[in-house]
Amino acid sequence: MKISELSRTTGVPVASIKYFRRQGLMPAGKATAATLAEYGQEHVQRLRLIKALTTLGGLSIAATRDVLTAVDQAHSADSALGAVSYALPVPVAESPVGDAEREAETGSAAEAEVAALIADMDWQAPSTSPHVEGLTAALRELKRLDADYRPGELAAYAELARSIARLDLDRAAAFGDDPVALAEQAVIVFALSAPVLELLRRLAQEDQVRRRVAGDAVDVDADADTDAAVDADID
């Protein structure tokens, strides 16, 4: 197909397609004349992925390029997941300004907290992992705001995060063994379901707030009914 049809099919303007190509995010089409190129289904898929990463995923062009490179270089299914996991940007806490002494204190406290959590959870992650560094920086910021987690709270969240990660990996793995296809799926699952999870959490918070305002008891028994309702619906 020509670039105009590629644009119509994907909903990405021609100028953006040319920009993505110049930025090295997308391979060129097959040249059919000096100023004409032919595009195929692989360009459609690539463009959809780029669009998803830059809009719903909120990634910069540079971050998108890193992720796509990881996708392209993936040789095995598992290494594809690992490469994507490291290429996706992590939320960052701004580097600290202000009281240097207090800073050093909260910094090493946060580091120790993260190391203890990882040991308790039996998580395999080196201290150089971007996720370990990101979590340490975020906890340091919260300490500076005196909004620290109380003992046990972070572990409770971590247990839920483990359950979420299992669902994530199962979703990605369901898409087969081809490394590039799996990496693409991992990008979608890892990057694009983060907003979905956050929205589910916000919805659940809204529900909890409404119940507390109404004076309802927010009891654990409510779960049993809901599980039954969900099961019934899936059938």
**According to CB under 8 A, which residues from 54 to 113 bind a second copy?**
55-56, 58, 78-79, 81-82, 85-86, 88, 90-91, 93-94, 96-99
> Can residue 165 be called a binding residue for a second copy (CB under 8 A)?
yes
By CB under 8 A, the count of residues binding a second copy is 107
CA distance 212 to 218: 7
We find the least distance from the C-beta atom of residue 33 to a second copy, in angstroms, to be 27
84 within 8 A of 67, measured Cβ to Cβ? yes
> Can residue 18 be called a binding residue for a second copy (CB under 8 A)?
no
> Can residue 207 be called a binding residue for a second copy (CB under 8 A)?
yes
What are the distances in angstroms from CA 94 to CA 57, 86, 136, 144? 20, 20, 12, 12
> Can residue 37 be called a binding residue for a second copy (CB under 8 A)?
no
> Can residue 120 be called a binding residue for a second copy (CB under 8 A)?
yes
CA distance 204 to 208: 6
> Can residue 188 be called a binding residue for a second copy (CB under 8 A)?
yes
Nearest to 195 by CA among 84, 52, 86, 81: 52
Nearer to a second copy, 30 or 212 (CB): 212
Computed over its alpha carbons, how large is the radius of gyration of the chain? 22
Rounded to the nearest 10°, the torsion over CA 119, 123, 129, 132 is -60
Counting every residue, how long is the chain? 235
> Can residue 219 be called a binding residue for a second copy (CB under 8 A)?
no
CA distance 17 to 43: 10
Stretch that binds a second copy, among 17-25, 34-42, 67-75, 128-136 (CB under 8 A): 128-136
Burial of 175 (0-12, 13-18, 19+ CB in 10 A): middle
The residue within the footprint of a second copy, chosen from 157, 176, 177, 178 (CB under 8 A), is 157
We find the least distance from the C-beta atom of residue 174 to a second copy, in angstroms, to be 8
> Can residue 138 be called a binding residue for a second copy (CB under 8 A)?
yes
Stretch that binds a second copy, among 19-27, 62-70, 104-112, 182-190 (CB under 8 A): 182-190
The residue within the footprint of a second copy, chosen from 71, 139, 182, 183 (CB under 8 A), is 139
> Can residue 150 be called a binding residue for a second copy (CB under 8 A)?
yes
> Can residue 178 be called a binding residue for a second copy (CB under 8 A)?
no
CA distance 208 to 230: 19
> Can residue 169 be called a binding residue for a second copy (CB under 8 A)?
yes
